[in-house]
Amino acid sequence: MPVSNVNIARLFNRLADLLEIDGANPFRVRAYRNAAQTIRSHSRSMGEMVAQEEDLSELPGIGKEIAAKIKTIVEHGRLPQLERIETRVPAELSDMMQIEGLGPKRVKVLYRDLKIRSIEDLRRAAQTHRIRDLPGFGEKTEKTILRRVQTWTGQAPRTLLAEAEDIAEPMLRYLKDCKGVKRVIIAGSYRRRKETIGDLDILATAKTGSDVVQRFTRYEDVGEVVSSGKTRSTVHLKSGLQVDLRVVPDASYGAALHYFTGSKSHNIALRTMAQKRKMKINEYGVYKSNKKIAGRTETDIYKLFGLAYIDPELRENRGEIEAARDKRLPKLVSVKDIRGDLHMHTTATDGRNSLRDMAEAAAQRGYEYIAITDHSRHLTVANGLDAKRLMKQVEAIDRLNGELRNITILTAIELDILERGTLDLPDSVLKELDLTICSIHSSFRLSRKKQTERVLRAMDNPYFNIFAHPTGRLINKREAYDIDLERVVAGAKERGCYLEVNAEPERLDLNDDACRMAKHMGVKVAISTDAHSVSSLDHMRFGVDQARRGWLEASDVINTRPLNTLRRLFKRI
């Protein structure tokens, strides 16, 4: 199996860690980290690019040397330079840097003076008070290290965006209620609408002397106050989620919001532009020879560099700055562009609400149409529909359509794609429906080739319209099945099929990069909720967020079309 971009990025990050501990040139270290970031977020696999002999050094932050190293990793699965340094610097030291408060310098001292090389060694040394006497350490640091090591769970978990909203909203209200506070907003990856967030970044503007930081540290859900100063503070909530608060004067709102929204690489790119113009950007404003020339709004800042306003979802240094300069930024799709939801379940299979409930709830949300897509017979655990039950549902939908004034229900089904690439119901049944969505619910472990061909074969069926949750991943729970998404997208293009952006918070499948790839290859998507209850219809916004991160415009999304146009899109024969 080819090495994934994520795994290549991990190797470079590990190399960067070990080089840093070894005291290498910090800029060289950063170069490896930048390259790792580029590789991780690149929409095409390094493996394929190497196979097609493309020039990797054209990617940002990747030059001749790193390009050659990527090639070696792809072809041999190894990075010899990493293996060489591991003979001098134990690889586990890289894990120790995951402990908050431990960076390369301290890890180096711990290893050099006490031969500590694992988190377990670290715990024992802290318990037996051997750390406090090391140079640059003390009693307090030792206690902090012990506490962090004891609560260490391995991988730092990332919180689903939807869960983060539930935590953030009440906290926001609590902080707004503070005297002297003017504005409070959540910045960081939350504002960029990433599918998961590592921490919450809250920005407040307040008069000097406001006690907003104190109020923040006294929030009832705070488990530990990590730091707390005049203008910033970090806490851990009882759940373990880290929350950072930064306070700036209101006149710096735009600069601070921009700064704390990131991403880091977007900010660095912009700051480099500033440097070339002999200007300086920080969280308080843009400065030219110590004179503040912008900072009240984000728009002002972009304007200063000849750039159009860049939506937060695009700020990943993936070409948005160039696009803003050349006035070719996309006008991103928004929730109000969505005219209907094309994936939902009812009590006929595994949904919690009836057909009528779902239709009425959708109408209340202002939709013009919905598609009812209960499961097909193969999915027995969900009580999937056979031909007879499906036809009964179609009749029920016809009756309801006769009754409901303000919404049209499309007859549809979520069809299982069987292992050999056949669809779970015969064409004679499918031809009676307005559309189908097709998906994989079994045989996740097929080889990449077999899985890909399974889907392409299924798409050969002229009643195949939308490929639902195309990679099958469940965030933090289940990896995507191994599939060549590029071939699938190309296959959809040839055959007139569409891909779904599933808005369920733990699916968000297609993800942002894949959305972008689909757009580049000329394939349109449907953004749908996969709702199993009335309340889940509100997840639409998370799907839209993901599509926005993938640069999609309303014209890239089929369920922004009026009903008549939409119906035509599903006629393949």
Partner DNA sequence: GCCGTTTTCGGCCCGACTGTTTTCAGTCG
Query: Using the rule CB under 7 A, which residue among 32, 190, 305, 570 binds DNA?
Result: 32
Residue 154 burial class via C-beta count within 10 angstroms: exposed 0-12, middle 13-18, buried 19 and up: exposed
Q: Cis before residue 342, ω within 30 degrees of 0? A: no
295 binds DNA (CB under 7 A): no
State the minimum distance, in angstroms, from the CB of residue 122 to DNA.
13
Q: CA 371, CA 316: separation in Å to the nearest integer?
A: 34
414 vs 425: CA distance, rounded Å: 10
Cβ-based nearer residue to DNA, 242 or 502: 242
Q: Among 150, 214, 272, 535, which residue interacts with DNA (rule: CB under 7 A)?
A: 272
**The one among 278, 327, 477, 568 contacting DNA by CB under 7 A:** 278
Region 38-57 residues binding DNA, contact defined as CB under 7 A: 57
**Token code pair at residue 134:** 């090391």
Closest distance of CB 545 from DNA, Å: 21
- Which residue from 23, 138, 157, 306 is in contact with DNA, where contact means CB under 7 A? 138
Only one of the segments 163-171, 274-282, 340-348, 410-418 lies at the binding site for DNA (rule: CB under 7 A); that segment is 274-282
| DSSP per-residue letters across 337-380 | G--EE--B--TTTT-SS-HHHHHHHHHHTT-SEEEE-PBBTT-G
Burial grade of 565 (CB within 10 A; 0-12, 13-18, 19 or more): exposed
Q: Does 543 bind DNA (CB under 7 A)?
A: no
Question: Segment contacting DNA (CB under 7 A): 62-70, 308-316, 331-339, 561-569?
Answer: 62-70
Angstrom CA distances, 40 to 138, 318, 437, 471, stand at 38, 12, 30, 17
Taking the complex as a whole, how short is the minimal distance between the CB of residue 135 and DNA, in angstroms? 6
The yes or no reply on residue 500 touching DNA (CB under 7 A) is: no
Of the residues 139, 177, 432, 460, which one makes contact with DNA according to CB under 7 A:
139
Q: Identify the residue among 7, 10, 30, 176 touching DNA (CB under 7 A).
A: 30
Task: Pick between residue 98 and residue 443 the one whose CB is nearest to DNA.
Answer: 98
Residues listed for the chain: 573
To which residue do tokens 């799907």 refer?
543
Q: Which of residues 350-369 bind DNA (CB under 7 A)?
A: none
Please classify residue 139 by burial: count the beta carbons closer than 10 Å to its beta carbon, then call 0-12 exposed, 13-18 middle and 19+ buried: exposed
* CA contacts within 13 A on the Cβ side of 291: 3
Cα gap 554→339, rounded to integer Å: 11
- Residue 502's SS3 state is strand
Per-position x/- string for 83-112, each x denoting binding to DNA as judged by CB under 7 A, each - no binding: --------------x-xxxxxxxxx-----
State yes or no: residue 62 binds DNA (CB under 7 A).
yes
Amino acid identity, residue 323?
Answer: A
Nearer to DNA, 141 or 555 (CB): 141
Q: Which stretch binds DNA (CB under 7 A): 230-238, 390-398, 436-444, 551-559?
A: 230-238
**Contact with DNA (CB under 7 A) among 135, 154, 209, 402:** 135
Which residue of 183, 280, 296, 487 would you call a contact of DNA, by CB under 7 A?
280
- Residue window 232-271: x/- pattern of binding to DNA, with contact defined by CB under 7 A: xxx-------x-x---------------x---x--xx--x
The answer to the question of residue 218 lying near DNA (CB under 7 A) is: no
Of 171, 259, 292, residue with least CA distance to 220: 171
141 binds DNA (CB under 7 A): yes
- By beta-carbon proximity to DNA, the closer residue of 31 and 314 is 31
CA distance 53 to 75: 12
Q: Which of 60, 90, 319, 496 binds DNA (CB under 7 A)?
A: 60
137 or 481: whose CB is closer to DNA? 137
Least gap, CB of 40 to DNA (angstroms): 16
Q: How far is the CB of 332 from DNA (least distance, A)?
A: 25
Number of residues that bind DNA (CB under 7 A): 63
Q: With binding defined as CB under 7 A, does residue 199 bind DNA?
A: yes
The three-state secondary structure class of 236 is strand
Residues with Cβ within 8 Å of residue 413, at least 6 apart in sequence: 373, 374, 375, 376, 385, 390, 425, 430, 433, 436, 437
Helix (H) or strand (E) segment spanning residue 202: strand 199-206
Pairing relation of β-strands 279-282 and 285-288? antiparallel
Query: Near DNA by CB under 7 A, which window of 29-37, 86-94, 351-359, 483-491?
Result: 29-37
Q: Are 328 and 310 in contact (CB under 8 A)?
A: no
CB of 98 to DNA, least distance (A): 8
The rounded distance, in Å, linking the Cα atoms of 34 and 62 is 8
Q: Return residues touching DNA (CB under 7 A).
A: 25, 27-28, 30-32, 34-35, 57, 60-67, 97, 99-107, 132, 135-142, 144, 188, 199, 201, 227-234, 242, 244, 260, 264, 267-268, 271-272, 275-276, 278, 280-283
